[in-house]
A and B are shown apart, each in its own frame.
Chain A
């Protein structure tokens, strides 16, 4: 018969072993679960200077960065259930359409990071999620969110810029090109535009609900307030470009730099 002390030691060792075994099983289960929940996608395309990127996402964030390479690099993190991503390379156009590629399927968030030559035209769209575009110098930058998400456009030099969402902030920091067209529209969120003092543009800013339109250092004698302050018209440095900002239930701010 086993002595009582020896029996206690044996029981303690068995408990420790069981705990360690369970911990290992739990760790592997957790790790393997995470690994199956998230997949990665990556693809490179050679690209000329005037390539156009068109992306239609469903839910998730999209980040587009301009770089000094003649190449497009698309990488994405796919949450479960993983979406199909089938980019199409159509003579100067890289087209990614997750709605088309996943019709009738339930898919998880897809978070894109795309690097393009900095002279590329960028046209990105999503149903839900944040959009960000940085370092682009081309003819077009368009960011459209059907419902909610923030839009951030920084270091942009484009002649046509459009940013639209329903709920979420919009921030633009870039140049205003001569003869360019710039449109920013939101239903609920704050819109802030950071542009050079020397920019030549005419502007229509409308904030019917809040009447909160801050012109900052752009306030001058060439501005007209209409509809009890719901809309501001202005012309600056000759009025070459055209800026239209509409915010149904939020504020508008012009920041000079």
Chain B
């Protein structure tokens, strides 16, 4: 017996439909042919799964299904008697149109939220004319701020200040390392300019301590901290 014959007869062997001689031949072939033995094992597994899982494949309400089939057969044979209409039940099935609409809405919302979150994170919320304040926030931005998805102007300012302070610390260390090599005129000019900036920093910090909502002082503090960082950075090169 070759492999092709054997594979054809394996199914019948499983169903005990072969004659004794044929069954013996198949079993002998399976004993030395690994390939056919694998096929036989696979088939056995499938058969076992079908037997064990047969109860799971039964429809949820087999009685109702049989009734519907029966009704359909009867309707083909004779006019169906008027049956009371089944109570209308809410269907949770979703059409393709509804599904598409839902996906579209979710995509739009998530894109909008991502856009504002990224814009807030990457680019400090300042426009060309004035710095952003609570008054210039759109309603949508205010809502997003309330639920914590984007920063409020105050939070953004505090974050920027912390970043600037870290940068200032770094550049200040470099300036201190270079300062000894400057001439007297450069040293004096640097000190004079730094002092002017420090005075402004002190003024705005004091104003904000008294009135944290003072957006203009917040904006100016941000600006002078930037000036201070630039002064330190530029002089660190000298």
Contact = CB atoms under 8 A, between A and B. Distances in A.
Interface of A: 58-59, 99, 106, 127-128, 146-148, 166-167, 181, 187-188, 202, 204, 206, 208-209, 226-227, 230-231, 233, 242, 244, 246, 248-249
A58 B238 contact: yes
B234 interface: yes
Given A204-B130, A230-B216, A127 B234 contact: yes
Contacts of B204: 208
Given A146-B235, A167-B196, 9 more contacts: A106-B183, A128-B186, A147-B192, A181-B128, A187-B224, A208-B216, A233-B130, A246-B223, A248-B200
Contacts of A246: 220, 223
19 contacts: A99-B237, A106-B183, A146-B193, A146-B230, A146-B231, A148-B192, A166-B193, A181-B128, A187-B193, A208-B203, A208-B220, A209-B203, A227-B214, A231-B216, A244-B128, A246-B220, A248-B200, A249-B199, A249-B200
Contacts of B238: 58, 99, 127
Contacts of A58: 238
A249 B231 contact: no
A59 B186 contact: yes
Contact of B193 (A59, A147, A226): A147
B197 interface: yes
A147 B186 CA distance: 10
B1 interface: no
B237 A148 contact: no
Given A166-B197, A187-B196, A208-B216, A248 B224 contact: yes
A249 B189 CA distance: 18
A204 B219 CA distance: 13
B17 interface: no
A248 B190 contact: no
Contact of A147 (B128, B190, B216, B217): B190
Contact of B128 (A148, A167, A242): A242
How big is the B interface, by class? 20 to 34
| Residue from A181, A188, A244 whose CB has the most chain B CB atoms within 10 Å | A188
A187 B200 contact: yes
Interface string B150-190: 00000000000000000000000000000001010110011
A167 B192 contact: yes
B38 to A, nearest CB: 73
A204 B220 CA distance: 13
Given A106-B181, A128-B189, A204-B130, A249 B196 contact: yes
Interface of B: 128-130, 181, 183, 185-186, 189-190, 192-193, 196-197, 199-200, 203-204, 214, 216-217, 220, 223-224, 227, 230-231, 234-235, 237-238
B124 to A, nearest CB: 16
B235 A127 contact: yes
B44 to A, nearest CB: 80
Contacts of B129: 202, 204, 242, 244
Nearest to B135: A226
Nearest to B200: A248
Nearest to B197: A187
A99 B189 CA distance: 18
A206 B130 CA distance: 10
A166 B181 contact: no
A90 B64 CA distance: 87
A59 B234 CA distance: 12
B126 to A, nearest CB: 11
A166 to B, nearest CB: 4
Contacts of A99: 237-238
Contact of A166 (B186, B196, B220, B223): B196
A32 to B, nearest CB: 24
Nearest to A126: B234
A187 B235 contact: no
Contacts of B203: 208-209
A51 B153 CA distance: 42
B130 A147 contact: no
| Residue from B130, B193, B214, B220 whose CB has the most chain A CB atoms within 10 Å | B193
Contacts of B231: 146-147, 166
A225 to B, nearest CB: 12
The 9 lowest CB-CB distance pairs between A and B, nearest first, are A227-B216, A146-B234, A147-B193, A166-B193, A248-B200, A188-B196, A128-B189, A187-B196, A147-B189
Contacts of A128: 185-186, 189
Contacts of B183: 106
